[in-house]
Structure 1
Amino acid sequence: MIINATDLKNNLGKYLRAAEREDIIITSNGRKVARLSAYGDEAYSAEQPPLVRELVEAYCQFPRKATYEEFLQLSENSEERYEYIDGEIYLLASPKTTHQQVLGELFGIFYTWFRGKKCRPMLAPYDITLKRDLENINVVQPDLMVICDLEEKLNEKDYYMGVPALMIEILSESSRGKDSVRKLDLYMSTGVKEYWIVNPFNKEVTVFLFENNDVLKNTTYKKDESISSYTFEGLEVSLSSIF
């Protein structure tokens, strides 16, 4: 059976049951990119490693840790957006309206404040590659980031390979744990200076200042308060302007 990735995503249960009877080939943009097989099927060859044993898992998280090369193969052959953190692959769900409204307000404020300055704000989707060490390579797509060395850190393929000075994540139901724990640790450990966690559910923003792979300061802003950046003096955002 041959189906496309969108059909799989929309009819997951149906194809999981069907995979117990026969292999299912998944296509993207008309190309065969993966196979969904019953667990225990050893039909994969050395030339075609088991990148996706059950593609359903890739739509939330891989069933096992993947190599950086496997992540690149998956992301390059898919129309979906993924993040890769400490060997685990996450599908980025389509953001909801509240998320996009908050992001739009924040970007507007940042765009105006940074206009004419060396540092510039950038929006997702935009891959950021962060290395804990030479072996532990991670790829994330923050909702909003501030980059101060864009021209110096572009590679030959026009991808940014530096570390943003400031990262912002807007929480959603599916990303609370990842953004609040895993990304906080990743950003703290890879040279990001400042991290904002924006919580639209309780209309709060927590700002972290990192130094020497640790949290130097953190402040949570509530109600009608104004957020003050630790890194960029004079950058302030009132909560009432984004919520």
Structure 2
Amino acid sequence: MTEPAFRKLTEDEYLRLLEESDVRYEYVDGFVYAQAGAASAHNQIAMNLAVMLSPVARKAGCLAYQSDMRLQISLNTRKYYFPDFLVTCESVTPDTMVVSQPCLLVEILSPSTARTDRHEKWTDYQQIASLQTYLLLDGQHRAASVYQRTSEGWQYFELGEGDTLQLVCPAVTLTLADLYDGTSL
């Protein structure tokens, strides 16, 4: 018996697949990638982000979303990702399922996603004009990597214990202790 051949899906086929499935799939250059469940620490970190950032985002006229809000990136081709957390100030309705203008994107790294989050996604994310901060949080150790947009371009730094992160959008200061509260990390 032969293995089935992989074929690229059109954007319309991908969108139909999402409508018909309970599984979340990301779409990159015609290929779809199923998104697996997450560990306890991952979920606690995401919850901490929601608790800390949602009220601040709303006061600024923005909204914060956990992993079920789809992000569309339109470069040479369209790509769809499901970031672990995002903040957007674009206009949304109760039926909105896709955003394209985030000011903050967060990925919580796992062994299976770290390479993609650090390389392929970062290559795409840095092209988003509205993006101010890309935050990478380690899901197995208390560590954070940050890309922030400045007038000179993107600045990269890592957060250590006791360091603070001043977000521009939403305007709030965070620490590793805040982000990892409730985890054993």
TM-score by length of 2: 0.84
Deviation at 1:211, TM superposition (A): 6.9
- Check the 8 A contact 1:132/1:190 in 2, yes or no: no
Correspondence 1:223-242 to 2 at 5 A: 223-229=161-167, 231-232=168-169, 234-242=171-179
- Counterpart CA distance in 1 for 2:139 and 2:160 is 11
- Counterpart CA distance in 1 for 2:66 and 2:51 is 11
Q: CA RMSD in A?
A: 2.5
Correspondence 1:135-214 to 2 at 5 A: 136-151=77-92, 158-191=96-129, 192-210=131-149
- Counterpart CA distance in 2 for 1:125 and 1:198 is 18
Q: Deviations over 1:170-229 (max 9, x none)?
A: 1112111111111101111232332111113231111112479x9521221012222222
- Counterpart CA distance in 1 for 2:170 and 2:105 is 16
Q: Percent identity?
A: 21
- Check the 8 A contact 2:60/2:170 in 1, yes or no: no
- Counterpart CA distance in 2 for 1:75 and 1:215 is 35
- Counterpart CA distance in 2 for 1:240 and 1:167 is 19
- Counterpart CA distance in 2 for 1:233 and 1:95 is 25
Higher strand share: 2
User: Given the superposition, is the C-alpha separation of residues 120 and 73 from structure 1 closer, same or farther in structure 2, using an over 3 Å criterion?
Assistant: closer
- Counterpart CA distance in 1 for 2:19 and 2:118 is 27
User: Given the superposition, is the C-alpha separation of residues 72 and 100 from structure 1 closer, same or farther in structure 2, using an over 3 Å criterion?
Assistant: same
SS in 2 for 1:66: coil
